[in-house]
Amino acid sequence: MKIPRMVEIPQDISCFLFGPRQTGKSSLIKEHLLNHPHWEVNLLINKVFLKFNREPSLFYSEAKFQIEENGVKTIFVDEIQKIPMLLDEVHSLIEEYKIQFILSGSSARKLKRLHANLLGGRSLIYNIYPFTYLELKSKFHLGFALQFGTIPGVYFSKKEVIQRQLSTYVATYLKEEIAVEGFVRNLGNFHRFLDVAAQYSSEILNYENISREAAVPAKTVKGYFEIVVDTLIGFFLPAWEISIKKQLAKHPKFYLFDNGVTSALTQSLSGVLSSETRGKRFEQFLINEIRALIEYNNCEVTLNYWRTTAGTEVDLVISRQHIPLAAIEIKAKKKITKKELSGLFSFQEEFPDTPYLICACEVETASIERGVAIVPWKYFLEKQILKIISQ
């Protein structure tokens, strides 16, 4: 099923498009290249990989033929991180022929670690996410998305097939390919780490606890988290503080990029999610939606969470140049009490000039309580968030 994506690939400028497997990178690029003279190189094909990995200069020769003899204007290389040395050839071809390269991959980690040529100012970098609510629109179902996620490669499959697909995705891609790409030496340690880390998704990280539960040294745990973040399957949400030094001293929150992956890692693909688990998944869903919208609209804002020493918390603070634009509490509830708004009230006292104080939840109609807007999550995504991040 064709779903229009919010990512717009430039017409003439070379670019990298990064994102986890099955998020729709190749489909988006191929649709963009329809009716465009182009040459495609898929490094997932073993024969192609072996040829160019053995002799990268062959790529230059074959590309030159495609450009000069077939009039190719764009070259698409899929999974470019598999052969970082090809980027030197790409650089030379851009300089010589001024053509466009579209380079996709599941991660920039290997490229960065090997100090690969990222083409300087000659290319743009985009990240792609699973389907968003605004992309799916009428085809979006909240309960389904909270448990099974919105990865394009599995979203429209039948429920029993999705469970198998997500289990396979975790076993083959997350636990094997990511480990190899991240230069993990002990696969068993990495597998246990992922299983435990998923349990902490949407929570403040405690490296010592994860280290103990996964039976992996704390220093190794921190390295594994770096791999997860660099390969875009997870991200940190730092603590908000006026002092940047204090902010860096606090533990971040951690989130995975998709609820279906979280369910697969925590073995919760079957049955009904508990209210506590559903609340965590709802929070992860909305924060991932916001991250995607920020990326797709190229907005210069920062995301944090806020927590006082007394334990009062706000799920998300959106700021620009360290000035808060919005404080957002996320609740998977249809009725909100004043107690559940206590974090926003405290933030309001601390930062009275914050333009937006919002509780995004499952209420049917919007209301205001002491300056806090209590709004349906759909209204928040359709009417409010773009206004906040674009101002």
Residue boundaries of the structural domains of the chain? 14-127, 133-275, 297-390
Q: Residue 323's beta-bridge partner residues?
A: 320
CA angle 15, 18, 22 (to 5 degrees): 130
- Please give the pLDDT value at position 230: 86
Question: Do 269 and 146 touch, CB atoms closer than 8 A?
Answer: no
Q: Which of 104, 94, 43, 53 is nearest to 73 (CA)?
A: 94
Encoded amino acid at 220, one letter: T
DSSP one-letter string for 11-43: SSSEEEEE--TTSSHHHHHHHHTTTS-EEEEET
Find how far residue 62's CA is from the centre of its chain.
Answer: 34
Whether 297-390 and 14-127 are alike in CATH topology: the answer is no
pLDDT at position 114 is 56
d(CA 291, CA 302): 10
297-390 carries CATH number 3.40.50: no
Residue 202, H or E segment:
none
DSSP string over 92-158: HHHHHH--EEEEEES-SHHHHHTT----GGGEEEEE--SPPHHHHGGG--HHHHHHH---TTTTTS-
233, 20 in Cβ contact below 8 A? yes
CB 88 within 8 A of CB 94: no
Give the pLDDT score at 100.
93
pLDDT values of the chain reduced to their tens digit, one per residue, 391 residues: 789 999 988 888 899 999 998 999 999 999 989 888 899 999 999 999 999 999 999 999 999 999 999 999 999 999 998 888 898 899 899 989 999 999 998 877 667 665 555 666 567 889 999 999 999 999 999 999 999 999 998 999 988 899 999 999 999 888 877 777 666 888 889 999 999 999 999 999 999 999 999 999 999 999 999 989 988 999 999 999 766 666 655 899 999 999 999 999 999 999 999 999 999 999 999 999 999 999 999 999 999 999 987 788 999 999 999 999 999 999 999 999 999 999 999 999 999 999 999 999 999 999 999 999 999 999 999 999 999 999 7
In the prediction, which pLDDT does 116 show?
55
What CATH number has the domain spanning 14-127? Answer: 3.40.50.300
Cα 370 to Cα 336, 349, 367, distances in angstroms: 13, 11, 10
